[in-house]
Amino acid sequence: MKKILLATSILAATTGFAAAEVAVSGAARMGLVYDGNDTEFSSRIRVTFSMSGETDSGLSFGASIRADQAGTGNAGADGAGGAFGGDDMDAGTVYISGAFGKLTFGDNDSAANVLVGNVSGVGFTGLGDFNELGYLGQVDTSALYEYSTGALSFALSSSQLNTDDAVSVAVKYSTDAFSVALGYEDDAADSQISLGGSATFGAATVKAVVADVDSAADTAFALSVDYAMDATTVTAFYADHGAVDGFGLGASYDLGGGAALVGGVVDNGVDTVADLGVTMKF
């Protein structure tokens, strides 16, 4: 994502101080969406502020937040920037990293979601994100720890300590040709085991995710294929959520400069929905 540097000054008085940076990036989209009954206009714009720096000893630190999240990024115990200052923050992240790994506080995905992830979706709006099987996740300010060594990556996450704890752990082995990941989540009400993998065969990339939720009678699974041809990528997916299954087909064409023409069709088991539009990255 192309970034525009806003400031690269401070900490110049002492040798060894690294310059702090504040950068802004953005994304936007516009197009048409068919919701199963009507066709409507659709558009959205988001601006993200990213801050980074480095200590004398070489530790990296930083934070990131979207402009539309600014209010909840400073939430306190009362949800409005109270005296406890961000203990129920549900937007933005703050991190510190080094040889020990990376520790992030804020609006994190669970460890399983970070390393196992989801198969590819279609459409410029996501069309309901039916390709995603879902994760238990966590609420309030959460902590996410990540560590990588060679082809192995580890992650551990926890929700706010004074709530009904939601914890997750995951491990992933990844090479240029394939990857496999295993994740576990547990909260006060449920638990889930997720297994994911991907493999690249020439121009085609195949992804698969299986999710076994303790409270669900059936195991959910999803499969996708992305096929790249020069500036065009064609994507197809199938997802079985247990009670309902569906599939999607879509394509994107890289227009250059951060813009792309994107469209898709999804049958979610209830309706057939579609969209077509232009996505933009700044």
In this structure, of 16-20, 63-67, 203-207, 254-258, the range with the lowest mean pLDDT score is: 16-20
Is pLDDT above 50 for 26?
yes
Task: Give the torsion sign (CA, 48, 33, 226, 199).
Answer: positive
3-state secondary structure of 12: coil
What does DSSP assign to residue 72? G
What is the domain-level CATH number for residue 111?
2.40.160.10
Q: Tokens for 161?
A: 């300590």
Residues 168-195 have pLDDT tens digits of 999 999 999 999 999 999 988 899 999 9
Quick one: average pLDDT of 7-30?
A: 66
- Using pLDDT thresholds of 50, 70 and 90, give the confidence band for residue 17: very low
Where are any strands of DSSP class E within 83-151? 93-98, 101-106, 142-149
Q: Tokens for 176?
A: 């240029």
DSSP per-residue letters across 165-187:
--EEEEEEEE-SSEEEEEEEEE-
Give the integer Cα–Cα distance in Å for 134 and 213.
10
Burial class (CB in 10 A: 0-12, 13-18, 19+), 210: middle
Report the mean per-residue pLDDT for the chain.
Answer: 88
Domain extent, residue 226, equals 4-281
Residue with tokens 């990036």: 25
User: Cβ contacts of residue 57 below 8 Å, gap of 6+?
Assistant: none
Q: What is the pTM of this model?
A: 0.86
Nearest to 131 by CA among 41, 281, 264: 264
Strand partners, 170: 155, 183
Query: How many structural domains comprise the chain?
Result: 1
Residue 15: the pLDDT is: 39
Residues 67-101 have pLDDT tens digits of 876 666 666 545 545 445 556 666 789 999 999 99
